[in-house]
Amino acid sequence: MWKPNTETFLACDHPFEDAKVVLFGAPYDSTTSFRPGARFGPQIIRSESVGLETYSPYINMDLTECRVLDTGDLELRFGSPAPALDAVEAYAAAIAAQEKIPFMLGGEHSLTLGAIRALHKEYPNLAVLQLDAHTDLRQDYLGEPLSHACVMRRCWEIVGDGNIYQLGIRSGDKPEWEFAKEHTILHPFSLDKLYEWDDLCHQPVYLTVDLDVLDPSVFPGTGTPEPGGVSFDVLRQAMTRACMLFDIVGCDVMELSPHYDHSGISTAAACKIVREMLLALHD
């Protein structure tokens, strides 16, 4: 009774030893090129999760029966991205070393690089499955190679040709799209191809969700809203399938920037996607 206040994502206070998934927040957004604020994502996903049930009628599972621990937010300093990436890498590595799944709540998308670094060491044949509105394949952004607009290019340098699967993409500059043709597996505009990618069943997979893959009507609270995205149910079903079918060894849900959406529907969508992913990871 007389303890400091505890606040975790919906029911995610399973003891570490027995946990399968370890949630953590990564509040950093200093390289965001258009509208910053994704640093506030993890905290509000946690606090607003009380508006959500633990039970999913979609797949008839309940979060109270899952083994997830939410350990809170990393303390990341703003400014140069390198230290933030190192902190994420170290934390993800420590979780993976215990054979648990690190599940990061962003924060800006560049942080995915930290997690990929950690998991690639553990799983050298790692594949990356990216759902996103943007290619994120720039060589650099105004000279900064660690910008959120470059994260997948940096990941490609690690995992190599043919190991990045990109879905939902509908924006990027011309060189990025040309780069993708040669080096990644990119299917633009929809998530349909996910249902054909059986290859991904044979590799450990890092699943990264930039929530701006959703249509801005569903998810206005993000740094760079890109009209023409997918509906909530399309993303939800894709996440269920990916988490059930593939060998997910790490994942993240990024780019909720709640101050741009006073209605809270973006946060509600983020919370529900996280719940459905956590449940499916326990299937």
Write the DSSP symbol of residue 14. -
The sheet with strand 204-210 has its strands ordered as: 68-73, 21-26, 101-106, 247-254, 204-210, 127-131, 164-169, 185-188
217 near a copy of itself, rule: CB under 8 A: yes
Number of residues counted as binding a copy of itself (CB under 8 A): 86
139 near a copy of itself, rule: CB under 8 A: no
31 near a copy of itself, rule: CB under 8 A: yes
Write the DSSP symbol of residue 200. G
- Shortest distance in whole angstroms from residue 139 CB to a copy of itself: 14
Q: Which of 130, 213, 261, 274 binds a copy of itself (CB under 8 A)?
A: 261
Q: Applying CB under 8 A, which part among 115-123, 195-203, 231-239, 243-251 lies near a copy of itself?
A: 231-239
Phi, psi of 101 (to 5 degrees): -90, 120
Give yes or no for a contact between 254 and 108, defined as CB atoms under 8 angstroms apart. Answer: yes
20 near a copy of itself, rule: CB under 8 A: no
Question: What contacts 95, CB < 8 A, 6 or more positions away?
Answer: 22, 24, 101, 102
Write the DSSP symbol of residue 104. E
Q: Which of 29, 132, 210, 255 binds a copy of itself (CB under 8 A)?
A: 29
Name 205's bridge partners: 127, 248
Q: Which of 114, 168, 172, 250 binds a copy of itself (CB under 8 A)?
A: 172
Nearest to 200 by CA among 235, 241, 169: 241
Tell me whether residue 204 or residue 220 sits nearer to a copy of itself (CB atom): 220
173 near a copy of itself, rule: CB under 8 A: yes
182 near a copy of itself, rule: CB under 8 A: no
47 near a copy of itself, rule: CB under 8 A: yes
Tell me whether residue 84 or residue 119 sits nearer to a copy of itself (CB atom): 84
Q: Which of 20, 93, 144, 282 binds a copy of itself (CB under 8 A)?
A: 144
Give yes or no for a contact between 266 and 255, defined as CB atoms under 8 angstroms apart. Answer: no
Q: Which of 10, 21, 26, 69 binds a copy of itself (CB under 8 A)?
A: 69
* CA–CA distances in Å: residue 12 to residues 62, 165, 199, 264: 12, 29, 32, 21
d(CA 114, CA 178): 25
Q: Which of 109, 120, 154, 272 binds a copy of itself (CB under 8 A)?
A: 272
Q: Which of 193, 232, 241, 245 binds a copy of itself (CB under 8 A)?
A: 232
Q: Applying CB under 8 A, which part among 112-120, 159-167, 201-209, 211-219 lies near a copy of itself?
A: 211-219
Would you tell me how many other CB atoms lie within 10 Å of the CB of residue 187? 17
36 near a copy of itself, rule: CB under 8 A: yes
Tell me whether residue 119 or residue 271 sits nearer to a copy of itself (CB atom): 271
Nearest to 115 by CA among 155, 156, 73: 155
Site for a copy of itself in 96-135 (CB under 8 A): none
